[in-house]
Structure 1
Amino acid sequence: MASKEITYKEQPFQLSYELVNPAQEPVLLVLHGWGSNKEIMKQAFAKTLPEYKHIYLDMPGFGKSTNEMILTTEDYANIVKLFLDELGVRATIAMGHSFGGKVSTLLDTPCLVLLSSAGVVTVKPWSVKIKIATFKLLKPLGMKKIRELFVAPDAQGMSHEMYETFKNVVDEDFEASFAKSQSRALCFWGKEDTATPLYTGEKIAGLIENSEFYPLDGDHFFFLKHSAFIAQTITEQCISPKAKL
């Protein structure tokens, strides 16, 4: 494991990362989802795609990487680009899970691999709508533990900066960014995913002109069971001489 310090908007970030197959030249960048870290992604894919140098990165505020700023998804993408510049590499493939899928989309790599990516706003059930309305009603009263009671589990226990960042990105409509993508996109999805439902993956694949959609058994972390198939598909669609790039 290594770390690299970069400066973005006059703010230093200490970014933790790990390389697999460091002697290889082509680069596979792997980005985790919200509330996660590089370790789960490495667990899934470290033994696949040996012809690529893998970069597993803890994005700012997650794992062992620091963050003391309120960020947007675009900020995350800019920070990742600076990080790659500091390493002196360009990613051929960007792979992103959930929130990491949105960040990966903004990197404009030749090949984009989305794993149950966030970015399509879903209709909230009435129970969630009631929670939101109640939270807004009680917020001016300054009642203790309101955040613990009403904030999503993904946001609990966060610093002020990360909580405000979470609010920036959680219900972000990313459809225009998907539609602008010029990458060759492979969209893999868990059929039983409730965090980013299957229909959102179908919509994203429809928005990206050069894309393929692969529904697979499993939930939001389906890729842990299907890493071999995902890697094989990447090889066939993005790496082999017959790849449709």
Structure 2
Amino acid sequence: MEVTVKGLKVYYTVEGCGAEDVLILEGWGTNTQVYRPISAQLSQKYHVFTPDLPGFGKSEEPKENWTVGDYAAFVKEFAGKVGIQKVTLIGHSFGGRIILKLHENPSELPFETERIVLIDSAGIRPADTLRKRLRRLKYKVGRCFLEVFRKDRVETYRLRHSSADYKAASPRMREVLKNTVSEDLGHLLPKLQAPTLLIWGRNDTATPLADGQRMEKEIPDAGLVVLEGGHYSFLDSPEVFRRVMASFMKL
């Protein structure tokens, strides 16, 4: 299905016809199909919406360099367009980052949050290490050196030393990634008042397990389940994931 939100054509799927809604927010650079195992399971009881966020899947890219706040505003408008009023929010990676931002001002949400599921969620800054500091210093020194040369050489250097997400993104989405990836939303964790299930891959290197452990401590009503796998733990341990979700969602 397709709807216009923030002036952009947005693709989304709808499954199930239950009285309660579920909204799945995808990870960076993915699409609705990646989350089909989740939506298919939940559609047994719930009305499940899975949009391709602007810039991902079949949805149009933002026309400006969006921030996390812009994506949160998008979710609010999308929810209004499709009629979501009482919802379970599920966010994987970048989608979890958006859920944190949504709760910056909970009273302004256009819906009531019944439950939250954060899967290998982004949004908080991991503890700094000497290796990370040295890597950043090396990058900054190299970038400053290259800035005396042409801009295309700077971009070549950036691509060589950047993440896979950055390399795979379009020029517009690279700017969006730079805007969003560095924002630390850890101060918002106590504002998540709904019962929250945290699901993490033991070997997640993109958002380390330590992030999930911190979230469990700082979100008032949260529980952490650790699966065998990495950043896509719901795909790495599908059967265990299904059992955990069935229990939390009362399927």
Question: What is the TM-score with the length of structure 2 in the denominator?
Answer: 0.85
CA contact (8 A) 1:45 1:227 kept: no
Unaligned runs of 5+ in 1: 241-245
Q: In the aligned structure 2, how far is the partner of 1:228 from the partner of 1:45?
A: 11
Does residue 1:114 correspond to 2:118, yes or no?
yes
* Other-structure match for 1:3: 2
Q: Aligned letter for 1:137?
A: F
1:130 aligns with 2:125: no
CA deviation string 1:117-170 (max 9, x = no partner): 012212326345423431233134224323332332211253343222111111
> For residue 197 of structure 1, what is the aligned residue in structure 2?
208
Structure 1, residues 75-96: CA drift from partner, whole Å, max 9, x if none?
1011011011011122521111
For the structure 1 residues 151 and 29, does the alpha-carbon distance in structure 2 shift closer, same or farther, using more than 3 Å as the test?
A: same
**Is the CA contact (8 Å cut-off) linking 1:48 and 1:228 kept in structure 2?**
no
Q: Which amino acid aligns with 1:141?
A: F
Between stretches 122-131 and 12-21, larger displacement belongs to: 122-131
Distance 1:106 1:128, change over 3 A: closer
* SS across alignment from 2:147: helix
State the secondary structure of the residue aligned to 1:47.
helix
> Quick one: structure 1 residues 215 and 132, their matched pair in 2 at CA, closer, same or farther if it must change by over 3 Å?
farther
Distance 1:140 1:61, change over 3 A: farther
Map 1:17-28 → 2, pairs under 5 A: 17-21=12-16, 23-28=17-22
The answer to whether residue 227 in structure 2 is matched with residue 223 in structure 1 is: no
Take 1:125 and 1:194, find their aligned partners in 2: how far apart are those partners? 17
Instruction: Please give the per-residue CA displacement for 1:183-207, whole angstroms capped at 9, x wherever unaligned.
Output: 2111010000111111111011111
2:217: which partner in 1?
A: 206
Unaligned 5+ runs, structure 2: 104-112
| Letter paired with 2:38 | F
Q: Which whole-Å CA distance do the structure 2 matches of 1:36 and 1:129 have between them?
A: 30
Tell me the equivalent position of 2:64. Answer: 69
Match of 1:105 among 100, 104, 107: 100
Q: For 2:39 and 2:33, how far apart are their aligned partners in 1?
A: 10
Conserved in 2, the CA contact under 8 Å of 1:94 and 1:107? no
Indicate if the aligned counterparts of 2:227 and 2:240 stay in contact, CA closer than 8 A: no
Aligned residues: 233
AA partner of residue 180 (structure 1)? K
Alpha-carbon distance in structure 2 between the residues aligned to 1:237 and 1:118? 21
Give yes or no for contact 1:31–1:41 (8 Å, CA) kept in 2. no
Q: Please say if residues 16 and 65 of structure 1, whose CA atoms lie closer than 8 Å, have aligned partners that are also in contact.
A: yes
In the TM superposition, residue 107 of structure 1 has moved relative to its aligned partner by 3.9
Corresponding residue of 1:243: none
2:60 pairs with 1:60: no
Cα RMSD, aligned residues only: 2.0
Match of 1:90 in 2: 85
The answer to whether the Cα contact below 8 Å between 2:166 and 2:177 also exists between their aligned partners in 1 is yes
Give the SS at the match of 1:156. Answer: helix
Change (3 A) 1:111 1:231: farther
Residues 80/45 of structure 1: CA separation in 2 closer, same or farther (3 Å cut): same
